[in-house]
């Protein structure tokens, strides 16, 4: 449960994991190193201009393609506070919850550079410039528990009594 305020990087539908982090960088799992190449081929200014707290807004089927967990790790390394999209591809969704990258399923009509305030407690996204509000549903209870535990690893440790 959290609140985020950040500047928007706007993407379209079907953002795939090859765009987020190309396969040639899979030789490291380090989020900071991966962030140096995030979106580098499709938006070359992203790695140098992204700031801590920025928010990614996508269309439908965000994170489609490869199972590479390096994709949400690269976004976390870049300081992205959360990803808002109309829908998420399954493996990307699961990977993000597992490592603690907040994903919010919501269709939001904003452009690059807009500022959003995301309130996950109340399920509200506010467009700070226009004042427009968007509502979204919270995570299913099981996934919220997993996310609140700090991701899969802490959840498993807790369940196993480690």
Partner 1 sequence: MNSDGMTMAEKILGRSSGRDVSAGALIITPVSFVFSHDGTMPLAIEQMENALGTRKVFDRGRVAGICDHASPSPSEDVSNVHSFMRTFARENGIDFYENGDGVCHQIVVERYAAPWKVVVGADSHTCTHGGLGAFATGMGSTDTAAVMVYGKTWMKVPETFRVNIDGRLPDMVPSKDVVLHVIGEIGADGAPYMSMEFVGSTVDNMSVESRLTMTNMAIEAGAKTGICAADEKARLFLEKYGRAGEYEEIKSDGNAVYADEINVDAAAVEPMIACPHRVDNVKPVSELEGLEVDQVCIGSCTNGRLEDLRTAAMILKNKRVSKDIRLIVYPASRSVLIEATKEGIIETLLKAGAAVCAPGCGFCIGRTVALGDGEKALSTQNRNFKGRMGNNKAEIYLCSPATAAASAVEGKVTDPRTAKQ
CA 10 to chain centre: 12
26 binds partner 1 (CB under 8 A): yes
Q: Which of residues 54-83 bind partner 1 (CB under 8 A)?
A: 60-61, 64-70
> Cα–Cα distance between 68 and 79 in angstroms, integer?
19
| Residue found under tokens 């994991």 | 17
List 41, 115, 117, 119, residue binding partner 1 (CB under 8 A): 41
2 touches partner 1 (CB under 8 A): no
- Using rule CB under 8 A, residue 21 touches partner 1: no
Q: Which is nearer to partner 1, 121 or 141 (CB)?
A: 141
> Does 32 help bind partner 1 (rule: CB under 8 A)?
no
Residue 161 binds to partner 1 (criterion: CB under 8 A): no
Query: Is residue 132 at the binding interface for partner 1, with CB under 8 A as the rule?
Result: no
42: how many CB neighbours lie within 10 A of its CB?
A: 13
Q: Are strands 133-135 and 124-127 parallel, antiparallel or unpaired?
A: antiparallel
The answer to whether 38 touches 78, Cβ cutoff 8 Å, is yes
| Geometric angle at alpha carbon 43, from 39 and 46, rounded to 5° | 70
Q: Which residues bind partner 1 (CB under 8 A)?
A: 14, 16, 18-19, 22-24, 26-27, 29, 41-42, 60-61, 64-70, 87, 89-91, 94-95, 98-99, 142, 151-153, 156-157, 160, 162
């Amino acid at each position: 449960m959290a609140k985020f305020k950040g500047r928007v990087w706007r993407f379209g539908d079907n953002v795939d994991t090859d765009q987020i982090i190309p396969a040639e960088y899979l030789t490291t799992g380090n989020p900071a190193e991966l962030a140096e190449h995030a979106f580098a081929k499709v938006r070359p200014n992203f790695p140098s201009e992204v700031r801590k707290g920025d928010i990614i807004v996508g269309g439908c089927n965000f994170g489609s393609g490869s199972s590479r967990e390096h994709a949400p790790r690269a976004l976390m390394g870049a300081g992205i506070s959360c990803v808002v999209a109309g829908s998420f591809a399954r493996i990307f969704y699961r990977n993000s919850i597992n490592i603690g990258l907040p994903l919010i399923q919501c269709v939001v009509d904003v452009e690059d550079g807009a500022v959003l305030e995301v309130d996950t407690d109340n399920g509200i996204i506010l467009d700070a410039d226009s004042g427009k509000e968007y509502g979204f549903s919270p995570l299913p209870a099981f996934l919220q528990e997993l996310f609140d535990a700090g991701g899969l690893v802490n959840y498993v440790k807790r369940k196993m009594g480690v």
